[in-house]
Structure 1
């Protein structure tokens, strides 16, 4: 189980690292997804990119991985609460928006599970 968890953690970290790179590559588009009431859209896009990449690095090197996963999960839940839920309220029959909300719910759940595994089994 420990080996499978470790491989899964590295795969998850790779996905998060790639998402971070994509935030830099497509910053102007991603900035349009930040709710209008939040100022400094590009700052938050770059901050999110660095947070995604930092959490991935913490998993790769095994330093503060539990905290990296917990903070990542909380950040993704902020996205769910501030972006996805308002979009679903306004257009709840849009399949793409439902899929994106569920995807982020799954990603946050995986980060919480990884944090628990780091806590329980101490994988590095």
Structure 2
């Protein structure tokens, strides 16, 4: 039962990441505005992130390098927390919506690391 639940959860998580990747392509112009100004080539990073999200999802779906895919996904999301969310929180006097987004990404990164640990046990 535990194996079925963890595998189902992994597939649901992968589906969410894949959809986020598609949305990065669909709304690239808007997402580019979220990239900090000190980082050059905003659209490149939006597309890179889209491909990375989708690649991590595919690695989970086909169970090929899934541990690495999950670990790198968690690291990428933590980079977002450090470069986007924390500066926004500091500069916005802790706006509730910004806190929610930061906590959402913290949860998504944590799930990626948990999945990486689960895949490590399987190998």
Q: Smaller-chain TM-score range?
A: over 0.9
Q: How many residues align?
A: 122
* TM superposition score normalised by structure 2: 0.97
The worse-fitting range, judged by mean Cα deviation, of 85-94 and 27-36 is: 85-94
1:93 match: 94
Per-residue CA deviations over 1:24-57 (Å, capped at 9, x if unaligned) read 0000000000000000000000000000000000
RMSD: 0.6
Q: Which runs of 5+ in 2 are unaligned?
A: none
User: Are the aligned partners of 1:74 and 1:108 in contact in 2 as well (CA < 8 Å)?
Assistant: yes
* TM superposition score normalised by structure 1: 0.97
Q: CA deviation at 1:91?
A: 1.1
Structure with bigger RCO (C-alpha 8 Å, 6+ apart) = 1
Q: Which runs of 5+ in 1 are unaligned?
A: none
Structure 1: 4+ residue segments shifted above 4 A: none
2:61 match: 60
